[in-house]
Structure 1
Amino acid sequence: MPGLVAASDGRAAARTAGRRRGAAAGFSIRAGVTTASWPRRAADASVTRLCTRPRAGTLVACPGTRFPAGHRHASHSAAPGSRVNGAVPAFADLGDGLLVLVLVVAALVILVVGIRLSRVAEALARATGLGEAVVGGALLGASTSLSGAVVSVSAAGAGAVDLAASNAVGGIAAQTFFLAVADLCHRGANLEHAAASTENMANAALLALMLALVLLYPYLPDWQIAGVFVGTPLLFAVYIGGLRGVARIRTQPMWLPLRTRHTRLEPVAAVAGVAAGSRCRLLLEFVPLAAIMAVAGWLVAAAGVECAARLEARQSVVGALLTAVITSLPELVTTLAAVRIGALQLAVGGIIGGNTFDVLFLAFADVAYRDGSLYHAIAADVTFWIVLSLVMTAVLSYGLVRRERHGPANIGSESLAVLAIYLGALFLQLG
């Protein structure tokens, strides 16, 4: 169909432009694919190839993609052994051991600074009178997720669409898995029962809505305003409106979960004590910590793309299983710490609210991606992680409503399901 052919040609040109801009940004984006030109296979010199995992030395197009005669993929015209897309010398010239060391050091920085940043954000939110839902969904989620946001934005600006998107949704899946791990560490009733909260359930519904919108966007017309997909502002609006709704639910609840002897609530006295602190001092501490997290996130993005190039790994795998897990380490530590001190609602709210903020990584990345709609360019592997995150969120929401007191092996049945779903996904992606 002529219309589809034209659209495919435009998208191919856009991807080529994105890879060229990736060279200027200092990223090596090749995912194990090198070639000098497109082969001429038919009378019209167009090519249609099956969309499978590429082998070294080949370039693969999705079904229905057509390319005009003489089309050359300039960004991949490199001799064997040469660097592609002009990688950052500081990373391209590093040995494998030093490259891994950069990732490890950046991960440690994100871990240590992220823990401190989350505590400052929590104190700042309490000092301003905000509730746990806003703490987890906005300030705490944004602060601990800052490095992940930088990874997605940096990758999208360099044209690494799959890395940018999989880093976002892979983090959601990993952090939901961390919550199930926290349930394993909690003694007494299951975490879903003890941390019952209308705000947490509302945040989970908001998260599911935003993930569903991301799944819907690729099926809508690719309409853009100033190079940004028209659905991106809607994600921001839904997020802000959802947080306001959650705040109203906290102050004016229409119904409340049944209180039992296992239900834990945050002490009001602790909130009042924090509110007496200096807001200015907290802000002065928050800003430099956030800047350090941003720099560490950029290091993870650059080193992650370089690792993907050297290992000939798919960007979606690197994003979902490497950069996403590294940038999610603060959430793991803060969640376990919250469970240990009995702040169960904050533990659950921090994960769910942080996951909701992580969906905005895709919105930020779409703004940074200058070659069309990011949602229309993501691969099927990334869609897999979006659906997986939605399934895990639905299971968690069901557990928060059902509130099972005791499950198998002293863990909630829903937490057990979340563990199995995530580990099964790892097996499928790495197998």
Structure 2
Amino acid sequence: MSTVLSQFPILMNILLFLILAAVVWISGSRLAYLSNVAAGRLGISTSLMGLLFLSTTTSLPEIATTVSAVIDARPRLALNNLYGGIALQTAVLAAADIFARGAISNYPRKANHALEATLLVSLLSLSIIVVVIGEPIVIWNVGLGSFFVLVFYCSAIFLLRKYDDNNDWIPVDLQEVKSNLQSQSQPDQVNNATTRRVVWMNIAYASVIFIAGVSLVQMSVVISEQSGIGMDIMGVVFLAGATSLPELSTTLAAVRLGAYTLAISNIFGSNLIMVGLVFPADFLFRQGAILSFADKTVQLAAALGILVTSAYLIGLLIRRKPRVGRMGLDSVFVLVVYIGSLGLYWILR
């Protein structure tokens, strides 16, 4: 597909890119609504639905991109896409804060999201440690460091799943939020549908996101090559932006629905998956431990991921925080950091 697209003029490829982006946007918006409905039908908390199903679905383009990059022996592209997408997706949550009724980090009534953020910071810190000290032990071209990342990721998901029903941390005097599901177009078609049909509709829209998202990734690579953008910048900004479109559409839709816990878990869950993909990428990459190919751009991306995630962790713990316009101060900080990071990436190019 990339060979065919490279023969088209760059303007035509940009037009096709925008069409596919619209498809992903519409499908992601529908998926956020359907996931919220499915959570209620199946008796699953919205935070768990966002962490396990929605985040996995919206991460399918990242998974496909990572697999493609390592098979093509492009380890730096794979790593820049994975770690570069973390700050970008957190900035998506900050942008969605504009549509929330009050700072979005004020609404979670349990410690799940603070735990998600803490585990993500720990996982990113572990990644930086492995990159700095190198991979001293490599077995079958798989580094011991990436294996530790996998073990930590699996342990984090197990802990989050087990903690989901735990109510030992209950903040008081919180804002109430009502879901705005009934304002959506064609609500009766979903509300009157059977649970089985709702589940299949979730699967159908997830499939559309996967197909259109993978096509977006391939088009972004072609457009980047045609425009002469550097490989590192392409991976950490442009390619990460293309693969993050599903997260953007689903998060904005969830916030507009009033499903704030779904939106937050979607982003933090997607970011956890991004780091967790390091081991599969290392396993498929046959030319050595993949983290040994990480450069300063990857280290910067991981550090920025820690910074923006920590900002929301503070926001989740400090319930009453200053607002700037319609956004919480933590969201404003995240957006400023991400915009500033673009200049840092350009310096390191």
**Fold shared per TM-score above 0.5:** yes
> Residues 201-240 of structure 1: matches in 2 within 5 Å?
201-218=114-131, 219-240=133-154
Whether the 8 Å CA contact 2:31–2:250 is kept in 1: the answer is no
Whether the 8 Å CA contact 1:266–1:345 is kept in 2: the answer is no
- Equivalent AA in structure 1 for residue 165 of structure 2: T
**TM-score using structure 1 length:** 0.70
> Residues 148-297 of structure 1: matches in 2 within 5 Å?
148-187=62-101, 189-218=102-131, 219-260=133-174, 262-264=175-177, 278=194, 280-297=196-213
Report sequence identity in percent. Answer: 26
> Residues 9-408 of structure 1: matches in 2 within 5 Å?
88-187=2-101, 189-218=102-131, 219-260=133-174, 262-264=175-177, 278=194, 280-408=196-324
RMSD: 2.8
CA 1:113–1:229: 2 relative to 1, 3 Å: farther
Greater shift, 225-234 or 164-173, is seen at 225-234
How many Å apart are 1:276 and its aligned residue? 10
How many Å apart are 1:257 and its aligned residue? 1.7
CA 1:369–1:294: 2 relative to 1, 3 Å: farther
The CA distance in 2 between the partners of 1:313 and 1:265, in whole Å, is 45
The CA distance in 1 between the partners of 2:308 and 2:128, in whole Å, is 15
Whether the 8 Å CA contact 1:110–1:327 is kept in 2: the answer is no
CA 1:343–1:295: 2 relative to 1, 3 Å: closer
Which one has more relative contact order, counting CA pairs under 8 Å at least 6 apart?
2
1:122-178: CA deviation from partner (whole Å, max 9, x where unpaired): 444544433233212211100111112211221221122222122222221112112
1:172-214: CA deviation from partner (whole Å, max 9, x where unpaired): 1112112222222323x32222334300111111111221122
Structure 2, unmatched stretches of 5+, are 181-189
CA 1:130–1:223: 2 relative to 1, 3 Å: farther
CA 1:152–1:266: 2 relative to 1, 3 Å: same
Greater shift, 117-126 or 344-353, is seen at 117-126
- The structure carrying a bigger helix percent of its residues is 2
- Alignment-derived partner of residue 51 in structure 1: none
The CA distance in 2 between the partners of 1:227 and 1:400, in whole Å, is 40
The CA distance in 1 between the partners of 2:98 and 2:205, in whole Å, is 31
CA 1:336–1:138: 2 relative to 1, 3 Å: same
The CA distance in 2 between the partners of 1:276 and 1:198, in whole Å, is 33
The CA distance in 2 between the partners of 1:121 and 1:341, in whole Å, is 11
How many Å apart are 1:233 and its aligned residue? 3.9
Whether the 8 Å CA contact 2:105–2:316 is kept in 1: the answer is yes
Query: Secondary structure of the equivalent of 2:291?
Result: coil
- Equivalent AA in structure 1 for residue 311 of structure 2: V
1:246-279: CA deviation from partner (whole Å, max 9, x where unpaired): 233332232222233x244879xxxxxx999755
Instruction: Report runs of 4+ in structure 1 exceeding 6 Å deviation.
Output: 274-277
How many Å apart are 1:391 and its aligned residue? 0.7
Query: Secondary structure of the equivalent of 2:223?
Result: helix
Whose Rg is larger?
A: 1
How many Å apart are 1:393 and its aligned residue? 0.5
CA 1:410–1:303: 2 relative to 1, 3 Å: closer
Q: Aligned residue pairs: how many?
A: 337
CA 1:404–1:134: 2 relative to 1, 3 Å: same
- Equivalent AA in structure 2 for residue 411 of structure 1: M
The CA distance in 2 between the partners of 1:99 and 1:186, in whole Å, is 35
- Alignment-derived partner of residue 184 in structure 2: none
CA 1:361–1:244: 2 relative to 1, 3 Å: closer
Whether the 8 Å CA contact 2:33–2:253 is kept in 1: the answer is no
How many Å apart are 1:387 and its aligned residue? 0.9
How many Å apart are 1:280 and its aligned residue? 4.3
Query: Secondary structure of the equivalent of 1:256?
Result: coil
The CA distance in 1 between the partners of 2:214 and 2:96, in whole Å, is 29
The CA distance in 1 between the partners of 2:286 and 2:194, in whole Å, is 42
Whether the 8 Å CA contact 2:32–2:251 is kept in 1: the answer is no
Structure 1, unmatched stretches of 5+, are 1-25, 27-87, 268-273
How many Å apart are 1:383 and its aligned residue? 1.7
Whether the 8 Å CA contact 2:103–2:323 is kept in 1: the answer is yes
CA 1:155–1:301: 2 relative to 1, 3 Å: farther
CA 1:89–1:349: 2 relative to 1, 3 Å: closer
